Structure 1
Amino acid sequence: MPTGDIEAEAAEAARPFRIGVDLGGTKIEVIALDAAGRECLRHRTATPQGDYPATVRTVAAIVAAAEAELGARGSVGIGTPGTLSAATGRMKNANSTCLNGQPLDRDLVAALARPVRMANDANCLAQSEAVDGAGAGCRTVFAVILGTGVGGGICIDRRVIAGPNGIAGEWGHNPLPAPDDAERPGPACYCGRSGCVETFLSGPGLAADHARAAGLAAMGPDAAAIADMAAAGDAAAEASMARYERRLAKALAGVVNILDPEVIVLGGGLSRIGRLYDHVPRLWAPHIFSDTIVTRLKPALHGDSSGVRGAAWLWAPDGLAPSAGA
């Protein structure tokens, strides 16, 4: 998010390093890229839970540590859950709810003592993967974050489409399509609705669904453990994974029917579950309004660090990173 000081922004854009920060629900990651897009460093630290001032301080500290290691000052782009409201200038729609209602851009500018650019984390993922990742060479890319929350971003001709409301691609807070009786009205969501895609397809959503189905009194294994248990032959975990895949297929089919992307790229922690890429495209076919389906489902080439690379590129000329091979 530009600060409005043209001279200061020009100075930031000319710096030798572009620093990206991914402000996630469980981790804050920093990366530094040189002008050619080569990675110079990458570090992670835990996100302070439910503590907004501590979160701002942690972002400032991880950037300062990166610059000390680089021996140089860099421009800073930050990928965030949610987005800034055009009406209030404060954060909205963040699953890290301590951010909502806060002037995050202004507080980070003050903490970092420089202009800062911010974008939704899924938009950062979309740009990173469209430029030189799993969507390289594709005109239309839909990028999905499956992690603490569920987000989406659209990239057309290597440019992110944010939309006038700043919510383009935010499929996670639509209702789960074609719900079964057992899926109605659906779990309560922090947004105030019930049955949102996010409540079923986030990591905590999968874990909660498994706990309910298995009759566990308290929260049981997390999403990664459920996938491992299913691979090892656990029948309850396999049933939970099958429900998850069916729901993911229905939700993504709606995206294909509206956007018709060439590729859907999965990022976030659950994108590492390899079986999704075989099972989901077989399951989405009955829900897609076409006799042939050429849309591909692929994992993010840059893994769960793809979004932080997109954040770094927020300071590239015109906000556009070099094309693959440039």
Structure 2
Amino acid sequence: MSIKIGIDLGGTKIEAIAISEQGETLFRQRTQTPQGDYHATLNSITMLVNTAEQACKKRAEHIGIGIPGTLSPTTGLIKNANSTCLIDKRLDTDLEERLNRPIHIANDADCFALSEAIDGGAAGYKSVFGIILGTGVGAGIVINKNLLSGPNRICGEWGHNPLPWLDNSDYPERICYCGKQDCIETFLSGPGFSSHFPANSKLSTTQIWEQARHGDIESQNYCNLYLEQLSKALASIINILDPEVIVLGGGLSNIDEIYEQVPDRLIKYIFSASTIPTKALTPIVKAKYGDSSGVRGAAWL
């Protein structure tokens, strides 16, 4: 029996998993990410891989790594990583030298989409758009269980397109850290949602939704707006890609109202939606593996 090893390299923790060819979890362990120390990060990953193989008494032919960034297609160096010590480093080749085998690196949202497409909430569908609604908004595209990449290594970067069909309820404009304005991420991420609550309070996303469910009118109106903005953003993906399924992960994916209301709202924005009698035909499902999807997707790389 062979094994697959994946590493989820985050800003605060590094997680390793070993799975069987059938997706059974054989080993799982976390350690803190060494802050600001690239070589210590390499050491931690090496240690986790060695520990996983010792526990499973098997050697993985490849190692997959998910990162909150990407490899530059022109330089081969890490870019856009929230662990800044990784930026401009050759993470894949440095680890290949230490571990003496091929290293496959992908964005953490891509790993999430791959995990859910292979044996998660989107298993059985040919085309999958996997979205993380969390601190940021990321996405990945999987076709026939193969992750799409693209020449710019930004396939699925849905969160940094402008929110479509803006109206007065979506203003004032929102400036994104990427330098553009009104990016989808500034509306649909956790910080984007909570920081623009009209009451200008310090309520969390969860607290705002709880207030709405208990009858607070201002909270209800704001949550209603979020569902409408999410519907607009998802409709733009359906109009372009028309995936067989959309799977959601991240903290905001636990909002039940998304699955109850967004399919009905989509029909206002999908092209030729007037031919659809009740709701959009694209299912929207919750991730099966939750925050474990990233590390599982890295293993499937």
Give me the TM-score of the superposition, normalised by structure 1: 0.79
The answer to whether the aligner puts 1:276 opposite 2:263 as a matched pair is no
Amino acid aligned to 2:186: T
What SS does the corresponding residue of 2:248 show, helix, strand or coil?
Answer: strand
**Pair 1:232–1:196, CA change in 2 (3 A):** same
What SS does the corresponding residue of 1:162 show, helix, strand or coil?
Answer: coil
Partner of 1:301: 288
The answer to whether the aligner puts 1:86 opposite 2:68 as a matched pair is no
Calculate percent identity across the aligned residue pairs.
Answer: 51
**Alignment counterpart, residue 14 of structure 2, candidates 11, 28, 42:** 28
**Pair 1:73–1:158, CA change in 2 (3 A):** closer
- 2-structure distance, mates of 1:227, 1:40: 37
Q: Deviations over 1:250-274 (max 9, x none)?
A: 1111000000111100112221222
Q: Is the 8 A contact 1:108 1:116 kept in 2?
A: yes
The answer to whether the aligner puts 1:255 opposite 2:237 as a matched pair is yes
- 1-structure distance, mates of 2:83, 2:49: 20
- 2-structure distance, mates of 1:169, 1:92: 16
Q: Deviations over 1:144-163 (max 9, x none)?
A: 11122211111112211111
The answer to whether the aligner puts 1:37 opposite 2:23 as a matched pair is yes
What SS does the corresponding residue of 1:287 show, helix, strand or coil?
Answer: coil
Q: Is the 8 A contact 1:184 1:195 kept in 2?
A: no
Q: Is the 8 A contact 1:186 1:196 kept in 2?
A: no
* TM-fit CA distance, 1:23: 2.6
- 2-structure distance, mates of 1:240, 1:111: 51
- 2-structure distance, mates of 1:276, 1:170: 21
Give the gaps of 5 or more residues in structure 1. Answer: 1-14, 315-326
- 1-structure distance, mates of 2:165, 2:65: 36
- 2-structure distance, mates of 1:103, 1:93: 14
- 2-structure distance, mates of 1:286, 1:196: 21
* TM-fit CA distance, 1:244: 2.0
Partner of 2:300: 313
**Alignment counterpart, residue 137 of structure 1, candidates 106, 112, 124:** 124
Q: Deviations over 1:274-299 (max 9, x none)?
A: 22111222222211102223111001
Q: Is the 8 A contact 2:63 2:104 kept in 1?
A: yes
* TM-fit CA distance, 1:100: 4.0
**Pair 1:31–1:175, CA change in 2 (3 A):** same
**Pair 1:204–1:215, CA change in 2 (3 A):** closer
**Bigger mean CA deviation after superposition, 274-283 or 254-263:** 274-283
**Pair 1:208–1:68, CA change in 2 (3 A):** farther
Partner of 2:103: 116
What SS does the corresponding residue of 1:18 show, helix, strand or coil?
Answer: strand
Q: How is 1:211-222 mapped onto 2 (pairs within 5 angstroms)?
A: 213-216=198-201, 220-222=202-204
* TM-fit CA distance, 1:187: 2.7
**Pair 1:52–1:165, CA change in 2 (3 A):** farther
* TM-fit CA distance, 1:231: 3.5
Amino acid aligned to 1:311: A
- 1-structure distance, mates of 2:165, 2:252: 23
* TM-fit CA distance, 1:29: 2.8
- 2-structure distance, mates of 1:172, 1:96: 20
Give the gaps of 5 or more residues in structure 2. Answer: none
Q: Is the 8 A contact 1:183 1:195 kept in 2?
A: no
Give me the TM-score of the superposition, normalised by structure 2: 0.85
Amino acid aligned to 2:14: I
**Pair 1:73–1:234, CA change in 2 (3 A):** farther
**Pair 1:184–1:99, CA change in 2 (3 A):** farther
Partner of 1:148: 135
Q: Is the 8 A contact 2:7 2:16 kept in 1?
A: yes
What SS does the corresponding residue of 1:165 show, helix, strand or coil?
Answer: coil
Partner of 1:323: none
* TM-fit CA distance, 1:106: 3.4
**Pair 1:233–1:91, CA change in 2 (3 A):** farther
Q: How is 1:85-104 mapped onto 2 (pairs within 5 angstroms)?
A: 85-94=72-81, 99-104=86-91
Amino acid aligned to 2:16: V
